[in-house]
Amino acid sequence: MNEPVLNQSALETNPSSRKSVKRHKVHRWLTVFRENRIGMLGAFLFFLFALISTIGPIVYPYDPMEFGSGGAVLQPPSAEHWLGTDDMGRDVLGALISGSRTSLGVGVLATGITMLIGTLVGICAGYFGGKIDTLLMRFTEIFLVLPWLPLMLVLAALLGTSIWNIILVIGITSWSSTARIVRAQALSIKERQFVERARAIGASHFTIMRRHIFPNVFPLIFANTILVSAVAILSETSLSFLGMGDPTHPSWGMMLHYAFTSGAGSMGAYWFLLPPGLCVVAVVLGFTFLGYAFDELFNPKLQRR
């Protein structure tokens, strides 16, 4: 049996019907998501590292400025140091747990900046069209064609190696693809009947974008946010690995940087090199699996019968 199609204006004037439809959609989304094994695996990895980053530093405190804390340099895993020590005698497990907070925090905050800029540019370009669309898209294409890694390196070098500067650099260099995706959806939504009715009754441009355009593009924005988070974490890891990270805030990228500069690979110190690399791979896979699962969930063209 086909689901009933409800009129947009009727939903706006009938709060109980709107709540019923929302509850039905949420229940259907949860049912479909639970059947997606890739999505469930991504959710497990995400919540696992989120738990480690929030509770881990409290249970297992670590001071990055405390050199030689009772361990020899590049000591193998032992009962005292479960993952061994690094090139300065610091506990690798403590650095790994503490670094998860920095890596995930940078990824989430940088993604927030990315989605804010990309959503504003995409909605304005798609809704207004004409010269505004042309101007905003030409500006967006500049960021699309520029190689993102050299651009981030230049900006990080100019602004300095602060954790907040890294968040800002990643945020302002990663929004262009989001803007293109949101613009394409906004171009379709602005031609629908409920938007025409809103214009007919005198609704302002801001009201239409806030109450009609944005809610309809939000599922796409949400799914894209998960994928962009993986890119942001990879970007932070790349910057830190190349020496542009903040040494006062340990991260997985900084651990890889110190492992490379100390020659841990050539000396066989796998306990210093492998754990941060595997954590980056696991987190990026988790966000990627979640992103594809939500994309399939919210995109009607990808939904399975």
Using the structure block, give the residue that is written with the tokens 């974490």.
233
pLDDT at 250: 84
The verdict on residue 286 lying in a domain is yes
What separation, in Å, do the N-terminal and C-terminal C-alpha atoms of the chain show? 13
Q: How many residues does the chain have?
A: 305
Q: Tell me if 17 is assigned to some domain.
A: no
Tokens linked to 37: 């094994």
Tokens for 112, please give them: 């927030």
Specify the long-range contacts of residues 259-262, CB closer than 8 Å, at least 24 apart: 259/86, 259/87, 262/74, 262/86, 262/87
Helix axes 270-298, 37-59, angle to 10 degrees: 130
Strand, coil or helix: 299: coil
In a domain, 9, yes or no: no
Instruction: Count the domains in the chain.
Output: 1
The answer to whether residue 18 is domain-embedded is: no
Distance of CA 182 to the CA centre of its chain: 16
What pTM was estimated for this model as a whole?
0.82
Tell me how many degrees the CA angle 53-54-57 measures, rounded to the nearest 5. 75
In a domain, 6, yes or no: no
What is d(CA 136, CA 15) in angstroms, rounded to the nearest whole number? 37
Which residue has 């506990």 as its token pair?
A: 91
Report the CATH number at residue 139: 1.10.3720.10
Q: State both tokens at 229.
A: 């988070």
Per the structure block, which two tokens stand in for 102? 């920095």
Residue 303 inside a domain? The answer is no
Residue 197 domain flag? yes
Strand runs labelled E in the chain: none
Q: Is residue 2 in some structural domain? A: no
Cα–Cα distance measured from residue 205 to residue 208, given in angstroms and rounded to the nearest whole number: 5
Q: Which domain holds residue 139?
A: 25-298
pLDDT in tens, the chain (305 residues): 344 444 554 444 555 666 676 677 777 777 777 888 888 999 999 999 999 999 988 888 877 766 655 567 888 888 888 888 888 888 889 889 989 999 999 999 999 999 999 999 999 999 998 999 999 999 999 988 888 888 888 888 888 878 898 999 999 988 998 999 999 999 989 989 989 899 899 899 999 999 999 998 998 898 888 889 999 999 999 999 988 888 888 899 999 999 998 888 888 889 898 999 999 999 999 999 988 888 777 765 655 54
